[in-house]
Chains A and B, each alone.
Chain A
C-alpha cells in the first residue's frame, strides 16, 4: 500500500517536473522562479504560510486521528472484532429428537470443524480455536471442587487474555503427545491446593490423573463478544482437547436439578479468527451456510457486527473531517497565493514588458508565473509536510511527558500524498489567473510602468 503511494507519487512528480526540466525554457523558468522567490524570501514565505499550515495541519491531525483510530480498532480487535464465535446451543427440550433419545445429541461436530479448516487453507481464516466445555468435578486427596473442564488447544491463549501466575499454558506438543496436563483457573488452584505449590502435582478429573503445568491469575468475568452472559473463567481447568476426548468420550453425564442428563456435544465452541476485518461479515455468512446442513438450530454464529459498524462509521466521519480540513486549507492557502501573485504581477509589470519586448510570447509569461506559483506552493507543501511530521512525532511524547496525556499518533502515506497533491493543484489553480493577467498585459503599457 505504502509502496503504491510512493510509486504513484514519484510518477506524478516525474510527470510534472520531467518535461519542465527537459524543456530548456522550462528549466530556465524554474531557475528564475526559485531566484525570484529567493529575492523576496520573507514575502514568499508569508504567502505560502497558509499552505504550510494547511498541509502541516492535515498531516498532524491525520496522524493523531489515525493513531487514536488505530488504538480504538486495536481495542475492538482484542475483544475479537475479527473473530467469529460459533457455539453449540441446546435445542428446546420438547423437540422431537430430544424426546426420543436418552442422550441429547446436538451442536458442532468434528466434521463442521474440518469444513472450517478448508477456509483456513484458503487463508480467510487465520486461526481456529475449538473448545469443549463441560461441568466437571475435580478432586485431590480429600478436596473436591466443581468447575468446568475446557478441552482446547494452545491457540486459546492467543484469542484470550491469559495472565499466568505460575508455570505455562498448553502447548501444541501437549496435544500431539496426548499429555495428561492441566492449567488451573485461580479459584480451582485455591480450592485444591490451598497450602502448596500446585505445579507438578496431580489432580483427578473424572477417572484420570492430570499433572498441573500452570496456574492462571484471577481473571475478571467478562461479557463475551457474542453478547452472552458473563463467564467466570476462574473455575476452569484447561486440558488438551485430544486427551480430553480420549478420557471423557463423547457423552457427558451430569446431574442437573436432581436428575441425570446425558449430552453428546463434540465441540461446545469454535472461535474463528478472520484475516481481514473487511471479510468478517462475508465469512460469517459462509459459516452460517456451512452449518445450515444441520437442519436445526443447534448452533449459533455470532459476529461482532455492531462494533465493526461503529468502527466503520467512525472512520467515515473521520475521512469527512479530513476532507473538510483539506478543503479549508486549500482555499485559504490558495487565496493567499493568488493575492501575492497578483501583487507580484503588478510589481513586475515592467519586467513583463521587457521580456515581451525581447521576444517573450504570452505563453512564456504565463508559464513563468505559473511555474513560480507551483514552485511556491510545492515548497510550501513540502515544508508543511515536514512541520506536520515533526509535530506528529514530537507532540505525543511531549504531551505524555508534560501533562501525562495519552495522544497516539500514527503517520500514514495517504495524507502526505494528499497534502502534496493539493499543494500543487492549489498552485496551478490559483496561479492561473495572475499568470493570465500578466500575459495579457500590453507590452507598451508594461514597459512604461514605473
Chain B
C-alpha cells in the first residue's frame, strides 16, 4: 500500500527562555494508508511534538514531511491551515468541542473553514456522522449536556467530516474510564477497519494494544517500531469496502 505519511530526518528545536530543547532529533517514518499507529514513550520523549508536526500545527526546524503527495514542511501558515481543514482529522484528550455549538454544529466546523458553503446536504452528512457514532438522538445538545464518552464520540464524528487522509488522536481515552475507553477504541478500530489511517499518541499499553503498529520514542528518537501481529491479521480478514458492517459510509456523497 502507498505511504500516506512520509517524514524524512525531521528535526524540531525549541527555545525555552534561550535554552535550546531538541524535541525531535532527526526522525524518519513512513505510515501506510490504512495503518493504525500508536506513538508511545515517556513524557519529554518527543511523541507529542511529533504528533503536532504530523498534524501540521507546527513547522519543523529541518527535514521534510510529505502528506500524500504534498510536501507540507515548506508551507506557510495559511496553507497549513488549509491542509488541516482538508486532509487531517483531530481527536484530543479533552475532546475540545466548542461549547457554544450543538453536536451537529461542532461536527460542521472543519467544513466551515474549508470554505464549503454549508447547506442541507452538508448538514445531512453531519447528521449521518453523528448517527454513526450513536448520537443521532442528541443532535441539538450542547457539549455541556453530554458525558465524556459522548463528547469524544462527537469529536470522532468531527474528525471524519472532511474525509481526512489521516486521523490524529492525542490520548483519546486519557480522560475516560476503562469501559468508555474500550468503547471509543472500538469505534477507532471500526474506522480503521473501514480504511482510515490513524496515528494515536498514548502511554497506556492496553490502549496501544488496539493499534497495528506501536512506535516507542525516547529523547527525540524512535526507539522501537513493532507490529502487533494479532491486529494485523485481524484486519486482513476484515473486508475493506469503505462501509462498516452496519451500512454507514465514510465518504460524503457528492462532497
Contacts and interface: CB of A to CB of B under 8 A. Distances in A.
A354 interface: yes
Contact of A358 (B58, B77, B84, B117): B84
A364 B97 CA distance: 18
B96 interface: yes
A25 B77 contact: no
B77 A362 contact: yes
A358 B113 contact: yes
B45 interface: no
Contacts of A32: 100
Interface stretch (B85-93, B174-182, B241-249): B85-93
Given A28-B118, A358-B85, A359-B84, 15 more contacts: A24-B112, A25-B113, A39-B99, A355-B109, A355-B113, A356-B81, A359-B82, A359-B85, A359-B86, A361-B77, A361-B81, A361-B113, A443-B57, A444-B57, A444-B58
Contacts of A444: 52, 57-58
A361 B118 CA distance: 18
Interface in B96-115: 96-100, 109-110, 112-115
Classify chain B: how many residues form its interface, as a range: 20 to 34
B95 to A, nearest CB: 10
B172 interface: no
Contacts of A353: 96
Interface in A354-378: 354-362, 364
Contacts of B92: 447
B110 A358 contact: yes
Contacts of B46: none
Nearest to A24: B117
B55 interface: yes
Contacts of A36: 100
A371 to B, nearest CB: 14
Interface of A: 24-25, 28, 32, 35-36, 39, 350-351, 353-362, 364, 443-444, 447
A39 B82 CA distance: 30
A350 B84 contact: no
19 contacts: A25-B115, A36-B100, A353-B96, A354-B97, A355-B98, A356-B81, A356-B84, A357-B84, A357-B96, A358-B85, A358-B90, A358-B109, A358-B158, A359-B82, A361-B81, A361-B82, A361-B113, A362-B77, A443-B57
Given A24-B117, A362-B78, A357 B90 contact: yes
Given A358-B110, A360-B113, A447-B92, A351 B98 contact: yes
Nearest to B92: A447
Contacts of B110: 358-359
**Residue in B55, B81, B109 whose Cβ sees the most chain A Cβ within 10 Å:** B81
Contacts of A443: 57-58
Contact of A28 (B58, B81, B99, B112): B112
A36 B105 CA distance: 14
A35 B102 CA distance: 12
A36 to B, nearest CB: 6
A39 B90 contact: no
A351 B99 CA distance: 9
A449 B211 CA distance: 29
Contacts of A350: 96
A171 to B, nearest CB: 74
Contact of B114 (A28, A39, A354, A359): A359
Contacts of A39: 99-100
Given A444-B52, A444-B57, A444-B58, A359 B96 contact: no
B71 to A, nearest CB: 19
**Residue in A32, A39, A358, A447 whose Cβ sees the most chain B Cβ within 10 Å:** A358
Contacts of A25: 112-113, 115
A105 to B, nearest CB: 89
Contact of A361 (B55, B78, B109, B158): B78
Q: List 6 A-B pairs, minimum CB-CB distance, nearest first.
A: A359-B85, A359-B113, A361-B81, A359-B84, A354-B96, A358-B110
A447 B94 CA distance: 10
Contact of A357 (B55, B78, B100): B55
A354 B98 contact: yes
Interface string B39-78: 0000000000000100101100000000000000000011
**Residue in A32, A35, A351, A359 whose Cβ sees the most chain B Cβ within 10 Å:** A359
A40 B58 CA distance: 33
B51 to A, nearest CB: 10
Contacts of B112: 24-25, 28
Nearest to B118: A24
Contacts of A360: 81, 85, 113
A39 B100 CA distance: 8
Nearest to B78: A361
Contacts of B113: 25, 355, 358-361, 364
Contacts of B158: 358
A288 B109 CA distance: 77
Contacts of A359: 81-82, 84-86, 110, 113-114, 162
A349 to B, nearest CB: 12
B200 to A, nearest CB: 16
Contacts of A356: 57, 81, 84
A32 B110 CA distance: 15
Nearest to A363: B78
Contacts of A35: 100
A421 B254 CA distance: 45
Contacts of B58: 443-444
Contacts of A355: 98, 109, 113
